């Protein structure tokens, strides 16, 4: 395979800028990213790097910023068809929109079609890795992984485990959910760039026995993830307290079934107590911050400062279809506003970190993706400074990198993504 050097303005992260300041990031006004056999071979100032790689084909990217591929830490692919559904909050939204949409995934052809649409939309928005909910149907995960493997994507997905408090056609049983999940793990986990997530929807839709078996799946399958929801909505939290009266709080439900660990990702976490934050930290669990969804279905404001104070890792999630955009740039825009409402300034550097290396760390994938250090898989994107007339006009007024980056993140969307490379191969992203 030939060696390719991508030349242009470049930014990536070595650590969290909120903790390590300027030492956490590297910026090259004229950078070179050298790709060999699908992996990063070198990254740095072009004048220093390119003389060492004279055999490389050089591809220039003017008026763009090269960054690592974006990482979505919480998204539901079966909900594509209900994005932008009107007028409800979480529990009613599930009954009115989500469950009817997910019921259609008993048809493999439907799952194949939506998988392709979903993955193409992720790529069009610059998202190269995601932690993904399937439906309760095993074939939904087979369809998703088949489509992801065909695109050589690093993706994590799981079959929903749900045996109560849902329509009958969407309920499995503890035994079938365990057997189906184990079969999917055996078939897909660790195959190519794919990983499996044990996926109870949330505590109210799983019985004690099913949650116990979810913990057993985690215990007997090294390296799989746990993906579920927590404390998204006040009414949901009250319902959990009624269903599990012996538990001190929402997190304690998951904790008693050994579902907390380094590869556990809990979506939302808007209404957590001090004890829950402390336990998430102690167990090295992770939380997905999903501002577009939290605002769209009226769930609340995420306390990023609380997560930081407890040392809990955070990544961004679009949460389609609760959210209203596949774009992590739009997610960053809303995250900034959510923090403003809490008198917290979310810097552009921290935002892009959370969407790249921070998301990779939340998914425990940072050894493979998230930045441009040598040996990493070469998933990266370009962001166009001239994507729209307004963006071009505003960028021209910027005097510093941070000002320019902030404007790019605030005014950017799918139009801003110029190109997407997966393992060094440019992907076709215009599905229209």
- Rg for the chain, CA atoms, rounded: 21
Residues of the chain with CATH 3.20.20.140: 70-362
Contact 328, 126 (CB under 8 A): yes
Evaluate if residue 1 carries a pLDDT over 80: no
Evaluate if residue 344 carries a pLDDT over 60: yes
pLDDT digits (tens, 9 = 90+) for 137-175: 999 999 999 999 999 999 999 999 999 999 999 999 999
Distances in whole angstroms, Cα of residue 210 to Cα of each of 130, 163, 164, 289:
25, 7, 10, 26
- Listed in sequence order, the residues at least 6 apart from 150 whose beta carbon sits closer than 8 Å to its beta carbon are none
Residues of the chain with CATH 2.30.40.10: 4-69+371-426
pTM of the model as a whole: 0.98
Q: Are strands 194-200 and 154-158 parallel, antiparallel or unpaired?
A: parallel
DSSP string, 338-389: HHHTTT----HHHHHHHHTHHHHHHTT-TTTSSS--TTSB--EEEEETTSSH
Evaluate if residue 325 carries a pLDDT over 70: yes
pLDDT digits (tens, 9 = 90+) for 83-141: 999 999 999 999 999 999 999 999 999 999 999 999 999 999 999 999 999 999 999 99
Distance CA 388, CA 158 (A): 37
At residue 288, φ and ψ (nearest 5 deg) are -95, 125
CA dihedral 233, 235, 241, 243 (to 10 degrees): -110
Q: What per-residue confidence (pLDDT) applies to 430?
A: 67
Class of domain 4-69+371-426: mainly beta
Q: What per-residue confidence (pLDDT) applies to 431?
A: 46
Q: What per-residue confidence (pLDDT) applies to 304?
A: 98
pLDDT confidence bin for 432, thresholds 50/70/90: very low
Q: Are strands 417-422 and 380-384 parallel, antiparallel or unpaired?
A: antiparallel
Q: Does domain 70-362 sit in CATH 3.20.20.140?
A: yes
């Amino acid at each position: 395979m030939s060696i390719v050097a991508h030349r242009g303005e470049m930014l990536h992260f070595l650590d969290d800028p909120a903790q390590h300041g300027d030492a956490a990031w590297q910026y090259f006004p004229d950078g070179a990213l050298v790709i060999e056999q699908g992996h990063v071979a070198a990254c740095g100032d072009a004048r220093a790097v390119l003389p060492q790689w004279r055999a490389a084909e050089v591809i220039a990217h003017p008026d763009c910023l090269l960054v690592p591929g974006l990482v979505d830490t919480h998204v539901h692919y079966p909900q594509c068809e209900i994005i932008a559904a009107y007028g409800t909050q979480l529990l009613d939204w599930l009954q009115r929109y989500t469950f009817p949409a997910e019921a259609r995934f008993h048809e493999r052809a439907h799952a194949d079609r939506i998988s392709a649409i979903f993955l193409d939309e992720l790529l069009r928005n610059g998202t190269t890795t995601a932690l993904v909910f399937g439906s309760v149907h095993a074939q939904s995960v087979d369809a998703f992984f088949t489509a992801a493997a065909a695109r050589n994507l690093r993706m994590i997905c799981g079959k929903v485990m749900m045996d109560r408090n849902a329509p009958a056609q969407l309920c499995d049983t503890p035994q079938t959910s365990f057997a189906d999940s184990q079969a999917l793990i055996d078939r897909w986990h660790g195959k190519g760039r794919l990983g499996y997530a044990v996926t109870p929807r949330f505590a109210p839709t799983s019985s004690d026995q099913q949650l116990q078996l979810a913990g057993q799946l985690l215990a007997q399958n090294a390296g799989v993830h746990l993906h579920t929801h927590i404390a998204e909505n006040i009414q949901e939290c009250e319902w959990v307290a009624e269903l599990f009266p012996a538990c001190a709080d929402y997190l304690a439900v998951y904790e008693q079934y050994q579902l907390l660990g380094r590869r556990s990702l809990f979506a939302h976490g808007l209404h957590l107590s001090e004890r829950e934050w402390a336990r998430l930290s102690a167990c090295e669990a992770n939380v997905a911050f999903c501002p577009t969804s939290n605002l769209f279905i009226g769930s609340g404001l995420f306390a990023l400062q609380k997560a930081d104070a407890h040392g809990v890792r955070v990544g961004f999630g679009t949460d389609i279809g609760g959210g209203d955009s596949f774009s992590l740039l739009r997610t960053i825009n809303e995250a900034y506003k959510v923090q403003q409402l809490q008198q917290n300034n979310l810097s552009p550097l921290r935002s892009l970190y959370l969407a790249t290396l921070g998301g990779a760390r939340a998914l425990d994938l940072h050894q493979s993706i998230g930045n441009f250090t040598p040996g990493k898989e070469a998933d990266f994107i370009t962001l166009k400074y001239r994507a729209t007339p307004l963006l071009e006009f505003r960028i021209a007024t910027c005097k510093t990198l941070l000002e320019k980056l902030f404007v790019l993140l605030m005014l950017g969307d799918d139009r801003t993504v110029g190109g997407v490379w997966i393992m060094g191969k440019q992907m076709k992203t215009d599905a229209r």
